[in-house]
Amino acid sequence: MFESDQEIVNSLLNKNNNFKRLYEKHSVIKNAVKEANEGHVGIDQLSLEELKKEKLNLKDRMSSIIKDYRDSLA
């Protein structure tokens, strides 16, 4: 995730508590979705879809923070 912006992500993880919180929550949900998709965790389809939506929402919010940070450097 955000491979092309890894330097910005690292900076934000150190400087922005909100970004760090979103990043950590995204990581937890990403792992839960992966486990469910691999069949390691039993979860109903509706719950899995909700997790995926939340994961995408978090990613969108982090993308917005990254964009704002990038724009502030310009």
- Judge contact between 19 and 62, C-beta under 8 A: yes
The mean of the pLDDT values for the chain is: 94
Higher pLDDT, 36 or 74: 36
* Model pTM score: 0.89
**Mean pLDDT across the stretch 60-69?**
96
Neighbours of 63 (CB within 10 A): 13
Q: What pLDDT does 1 receive?
A: 66
